[in-house]
Amino acid sequence: MCSGRVDLEFVLRAFSNGMDGVFIGGCRLNECNYITHGNYHALNMVLLCRKIMEHIGLNPERLRIEFMSSGEGNIFVDVMNDFGKKVKALGPLGTSEEIDGVELKSKLEEVTKLIPYIKIVEREKLESRLETEEEYDGLFTSEEIDKLFSEVPSYYIDPDKCQACMICLRKCPAEAISGGKNQIHVIDQDKCIKCATCFEACPPRFGAVKEISGEPVPPPIPEEKRTIARKSKEK
Ligand code: SF4
Ligand code: SF4
């Protein structure tokens, strides 16, 4: 399959499952048969993932991407031998980084949960096709990734504004919203993957979904107070 199909989630899942290194092989850059040039997408994803690995304390050398044609078996052998030696020298995941296994798993789970948010914020860069190695070196910076994680927003439904139209509930990809007919809707913060779909979907005339950053999310309205009392229409 195309290297462009290798999602950030696949890489993080491999590490979550205890892989010590991940290698992605793609076709040579600028030799893609399709206008999509998926190998550039793979390269951008790897550069982003390496910065994320640094952010959570993992050695980015554990992730490598190389481009070669199917006729370059010799290059493939050299690269794999070299990568194998490197990963062996680094040891089991988390060892050389001195991160406890439980802590590492929870960090990887936290990042995996934020993939939709990360992809939205970094969308333009993930789709870019740069010319030089220098440009690629600066595509993602450590400061930018630290900021990305420090500014993760939360989404909250204002109980005074929610009209229980159920649009957000139907569109939420994580089943993080509970509610029903005439019931004020509530977001389960543990299930929310910060995709902003509810924020975009809530009709502007209601404007009930708030994006919150840098402050705690108000507690959910108690269940017994969620029923909306509607005035019956006078004849
Ligand atoms: S941001 Fe909204 S739509 Fe997206 S997962 Fe969270 S609650 Fe669901
Ligand atoms: S879309 Fe807005 S008004 Fe409709 S249920 Fe969701 S939060 Fe409430």
Any ligand 2 atom below 6 A from CB of 208: yes
Give CA–CA dist 46/68, Å, rounded: 16
DSSP-assigned states of every residue in 28-89 = PTT--SSTT-HHHHHHHHHHHHHHHHHHTT--GGGEEEEE--TT-HHHHHHHHHHHHHHHHH
Compute the CA torsion angle 91, 17, 147, 99 (nearest 10 deg).
-40
The enclosing H or E element of 10 equals helix 8-16
pLDDT tens by residue, 77-117: 999 999 999 999 999 999 999 999 999 999 999 999 999 99
What integer pLDDT is reported at residue 235 of this predicted model? 43
How long, in residues, is the chain?
235
Q: Is residue 193 within 6 Å of ligand 1 at its C-beta?
A: yes
pLDDT in tens, 8-51: 999 999 999 999 999 999 999 988 888 888 899 999 999 999 99
Residue from 158, 206, 211, 228 to probe ligand 2 pocket by mutation (most atoms less than 8 Å from CB) = 206
Asked whether the beta carbons of 52 and 62 are under 8 A apart, the reply is no
E strands present in 68-160: 154-157
The per-residue pLDDT for 234 is: 45
Residue of 156, 161, 163, 228 to mutate, ligand 2, most atoms within 8 A of C-beta: 163
pTM of the model: 0.84
Side-chain-side CA neighbours of 189 within 13 Å: the count stands at 13
How many CB atoms are located within 10 Å of the residue 7 CB? 14
3-state secondary structure (DSSP) of residue 182: coil
Centroid of ligand 2 to alpha carbon of 192 (angstroms): 15
Token digits for 203?
Answer: 């009709």
1, pLDDT greater than 80 = no
Residues near 35 by beta carbon (within 8 Å), at least 6 away in sequence: none
Average pLDDT over residues 208-214: 94
